[in-house]
Amino acid sequence: MNASSTRASRRTRTLAWGAVPVLALTALVSMDHVPGTDIALTVPYAAEGPGPMFDTLGEVEGTPVVEIDGASVDDTAGELRMTTVSVRSNMTLAQALGRWLTTDDTLVPVEQVFPPNLNPEEIEQLNRQAFTSSEAAATVAAMNHLGRPVEIAVVDVLPDSAATGRIEPEDVIVGVDGSDVDKPGQVQELVRAKQPGDQITLELRRGGERVSEVIELGANPQDEKIPMLGVLMGSQPTDGVDVNFNLQDIGGPSAGMIFSLAVIDKLSDGELNAGRKVAGTGTIAEDGTVGPIGGIGHKVRAAAADGVELFLAPAANCDQAVSGNDDSDMVIARVNTLDEAITAMADFGAGRDVATCS
């Protein structure tokens, strides 16, 4: 064998040997656990990206997204879309790198999305609570805008909570510690003024009877210093109107503003969105205040890519909403309240200047 062939042989052996760690690494980054063990190999990051959008004036699987019974519902036109963010977790290194390199997803520490001290069932429960509270606040805000009275209905009782066995679904809460209440936020405020272990007296309407329950408050699983009653509360109009939000597997409070606008549009004359293609996001308080949310950049880009004309963004999210959206013709309106969102749609439909994020 000459020197040239010897070098070639050495080179071949070197390359062949070097391929072993590369193949091993490729397998390692693709596995979610060490073979033969329960040791996880997933990365401590979650990928956030655009999620599906739902027209709250339309239907999902043949059922209205916002369903109203007990009142005349006005015809609607155009669209009023709620926007979402998809979250992927439990990713291998290869999957995380793939999302980072080939998509517009954002990688964030997983604890920003899922509290580290909670199991999946507890996280799902908290997301459900947030979504239910958002629906209740949306109903109250809409009824306040329309001048309709409301009352507090118990939607569900959390298992193994202070309310278990004492409060029942469909109970109506009419008083707390001698004070009359008609909004879920009032009950939450009175509960939070206490400490875990304190007693609270609830006046309930159950069927045709009035019932009084004295309950010892529990503790929030996320923070044992925060008192917890353990009920999911909704709001229902007292004039026979029944509002239901028919979306499943959606968590969090960010649909509140859009839900409230859809209720108002269906229960008032004319088209709130001027028949245009509108989307938006933001939490809603019972007094109509619109609050900030996470992941708005993904929501804005998804809406712009799908031809939405006007996007309603919480004022506190304006900087993130306009970042990277320079090439779109979509107007991004800046809103602090439910009334400002309604004004933005009216101005846009009439061709007037809109208060924008800029």
- Whole-number Å distance between alpha carbons of 42 and 170: 43
**Under 8 Å between Cβ of 169 and 156:** yes
Q: Could you give the angle at which helices 184-192 and 120-146 cross, rounded to 10 degrees?
A: 130
For 253-290, write each residue's pLDDT tens digit.
Answer: 888 999 999 999 999 999 999 999 999 999 999 889 99
- Whole-number Å distance between alpha carbons of 36 and 261: 53
Tell me whether the CATH fold assigned to 44-145+241-358 matches the one assigned to 149-238.
no
The owner of tokens 């529990």 is 218
State the amino acid at position 160 in one-letter form. D
149-238 falls under which CATH superfamily? Answer: PDZ domain (2.30.42.10)
**Under 8 Å between Cβ of 285 and 253:** no
- Whole-number Å distance between alpha carbons of 274 and 78: 7
Phi/psi for 219 (5° steps) reads -120, 145
Per the DSSP assignment, residues forming a β-bridge with 332 are 311
Considering the entire predicted model, what is its pTM? Answer: 0.74
- Whole-number Å distance between alpha carbons of 285 and 301: 26
CA 141 distance to own-chain centroid: 17
CA distances, 317 to each of 49, 280, 312, 320, 354 (Å): 17, 12, 10, 6, 17
- Whole-number Å distance between alpha carbons of 218 and 189: 15
Tokens of 25: 């690494």
The string of DSSP codes covering 88-127 is E-S--HHHHHHHHHHS--EEEEGGGTS-TTS-HHHHHHHH
Phi/psi for 72 (5° steps) reads -70, 130
**Under 8 Å between Cβ of 236 and 242:** yes
CA 41 distance to own-chain centroid: 29
State the amino acid at position 159 in one-letter form. P
State the amino acid at position 257 in one-letter form. M
**Under 8 Å between Cβ of 163 and 155:** no
∠ CA(158), CA(286), CA(352), 5° rounding?
Answer: 140
pLDDT at residue 216, rounded to an integer: 97
Q: Averaged in consecutive runs of 10 residues, what is the pLDDT profile of the chain (358 residues)?
A: 40 33 39 51 83 93 92 93 88 85 84 74 74 84 92 91 94 96 92 96 94 95 90 86 83 87 95 96 93 92 94 96 82 97 97 94
CATH architecture of structural domain 44-145+241-358: 2-Layer Sandwich (3.30)
State the amino acid at position 266 in one-letter form. K
Tokens of 166: 């004492």
- Whole-number Å distance between alpha carbons of 293 and 317: 7
- Whole-number Å distance between alpha carbons of 215 and 218: 9
pLDDT at residue 2, rounded to an integer: 44
H helices within 276-337, ranges in order? 296-305, 318-322
Domain segments of the chain as ranges: 3-43, 44-145+241-358, 149-238
- Whole-number Å distance between alpha carbons of 276 and 27: 50
What are the percentages of helix, strand and coil residues in the chain, rounded to 5? 35, 30, 40
pLDDT at residue 67, rounded to an integer: 94
- Whole-number Å distance between alpha carbons of 28 and 21: 10
End-to-end Cα distance, the chain: 74
